[in-house]
Structure 1
């Protein structure tokens, strides 16, 4: 996938029109379209604006390596908010349960999770 195609993938994954995407990074709709279609090259300023405005990982956008978006605490909080506002009671209850745990319970859970990870890595079949 080319850098231009990755830009289109970012825009589509965010559900933005060419116009709205361009507006947020200071480009006209036609300029975004030309970039996405590979007719115009992407400037370093465009890349930085996309990464800054949409939380896109610079390495992913420039090389294709890694994940599309940078994980930030704000992203995490937003995801929790969406879960708590949604209809999935199991997910909501899991968060509520975690809030009720004592510090000792959290440490025990952390130990259990680390043991499970270690076990899985040790017994991983290649």
Structure 2
């Protein structure tokens, strides 16, 4: 059985030892709003994903796919793991592979974020057109 984003969200909340109200509050949702997402009634929006990453350091790739680590690896984490290594030749093949894998995940996350930005830009442009049309309609109605 495939685990959904919504189910992974519950796993995240449980791992942080928070109840629905506390977790919802932390990402700007009511307990009921968060509960709807966790139960699968509503999907996990891009905005929520951004908050999850910024506030709880959640790896969005893991949330979406279940692949990788639940929590994002930060530059500080990487530095701690490789303290003492001064030259690339001193890294083991496993450590190099780990860095390459993290690099690929970060590139994929950047690509998804850029796609999301483009979608929001298109949405804003579309709404701007609707607003302009409505303003024109209001202007015409007032002239009558």
Please state which band the TM-score falls in when normalised by the shorter chain. Answer: 0.5 to 0.7
Give the aligned CA root-mean-square deviation in angstroms.
2.8
Cα pair distance change 1:33/1:71, threshold 3 Å: same
Larger Rg: 2
Number of aligned positions between the proteins? 87
Deviating beyond 4 angstroms after TM superposition, the runs of 4 or more aligned structure 1 residues are 74-77
Cα pair distance change 1:56/1:48, threshold 3 Å: same
Gapped regions of structure 1 (runs ≥ 5): 78-102, 118-126
Q: Measure the CA separation in 2 of the matches of 1:59 and 1:16.
A: 22
1:114 CA displacement: 4.0
Pick from 4, 21, 24 the counterpart of residue 23 of structure 2: 21
Pick from 31, 37, 40 the counterpart of residue 39 of structure 2: 37
Cα pair distance change 1:63/1:54, threshold 3 Å: same
3-state DSSP of counterpart to 1:16: coil
Q: Measure the CA separation in 2 of the matches of 1:23 and 1:74.
A: 27
Gapped regions of structure 2 (runs ≥ 5): 95-144
Pick from 48, 61, 64 the counterpart of residue 63 of structure 2: 61
Q: Measure the CA separation in 2 of the matches of 1:76 and 1:56.
A: 19
Q: Measure the CA separation in 1 of the matches of 2:8 and 2:68.
A: 12
1:82-125 Cα deviation digits (max 9, x unpaired): xxxxxxxxxxxxxxxxxxxxx8xx88xx96x849x6xxxxxxxx
3-state DSSP of counterpart to 1:12: helix
Cα pair distance change 1:30/1:67, threshold 3 Å: same
